[in-house]
Structure 1
Amino acid sequence: MAYIPDRGQLIWLTFNPQAGNEQSGRRPALVLSPATYNAKAGLVLVCPVTSQQKGYPFEVLLPSGLPVSGVVLADQLRSLDWRVREAALICRAPDTVVAEALAKASALLQAL
């Protein structure tokens, strides 16, 4: 069976093309959408990960010991075609990271 990204996984994705202040290149991302949606839609809802921690309120720190370091940018939600963008599993993020990213993204969406 082919790989399907699932909520809570850290994956590699290609973010190009990008514009303005969006994250670009092949980089890690945290998957927020469930595998059932991702399989059916062919899309995945993700937040990119950056190694540049700036203390921004929507950053979610990845704990040490993971194959990826840095912060999840919970305010840069992207819906991407995971097949075309060559999604590849890195590891599963701790539940606390996933919960914090979902809470911050939700707070942003509800504030609008």
Structure 2
Amino acid sequence: MNKVLQQGDIIRIGFDPSMGQEQQGVRPAFVVSVRQVNALSNRVIVAAISNGAAFNREHGLTVPLIGTGLQTSGVIICDQIRTMDVKARRAAFVESAPQYIVDEVLGKLALILGIDE
């Protein structure tokens, strides 16, 4: 991937190898890391996107994409974040989420990580 990804971009990327209850397979992912950091290497921090994630939905750990006008459906699973090499995993850019989605994801991450906003 030649594009420098920005926070809020949605990509398709392979999550394997994964273990246990980690998200698996090729799926959409939400870019959490900022452009300035993403430009330094092929690595980005992402949150998995799924059409399942019932446990995560029940516990308020997701941000829904339904009704946002995006072609990507499902929920951003805010407690399923990982650093991934977009070049080695042959990631593909899909679309960019609106700022209010980015803000909601960052707010959930702050709660999960115990960071004051």
**TM-score, normalised via structure 2 length:** 0.87
State the identity %. Answer: 35
Does residue 110 of the first structure (1) align with residue 117 of the second (2)?
Answer: no
TM-score, normalization: structure 1? 0.90
User: Residues 3-14 of structure 1 correspond to what in structure 2 (within 5 A)?
Assistant: 3-14=3-14
Which consecutive aligned stretches of 4+ in structure 1 deviate over 6 angstroms post-superposition? none
CA deviation profile, 1:29-81 (whole Å, cap 9, x unmatched):
11011122112132101100001152331110003331110000001111111
Q: In structure 2, which of residues 98, 103, 112 is the aligned counterpart of residue 99 of structure 1?
A: 103
Per-residue CA distance 1:79-109 (angstroms, 9 max, x = gap): 1111111121111112111111111111111
Q: CA deviation digits over 1:3-32, x for unaligned, max 9?
A: 122101111111110011000111001101
Match of 2:39 in 1: 39
Aligned equivalents of 1:85 and 1:73: distance in 2?
Answer: 20
Aligned to 2:79: 75
Provide the aligned C-alpha RMSD in A: 1.7
Greater shift in the superposed pair: 67-76 or 85-94: 85-94
**Distance in structure 1 (CA, Å) of the matches to 2:104 and 2:32:** 11
- List alignment gaps of at least 5 residues for structure 2: none
Hey, what's the Cα distance between the residues in 1 that align with 2:98 and 2:65?
8
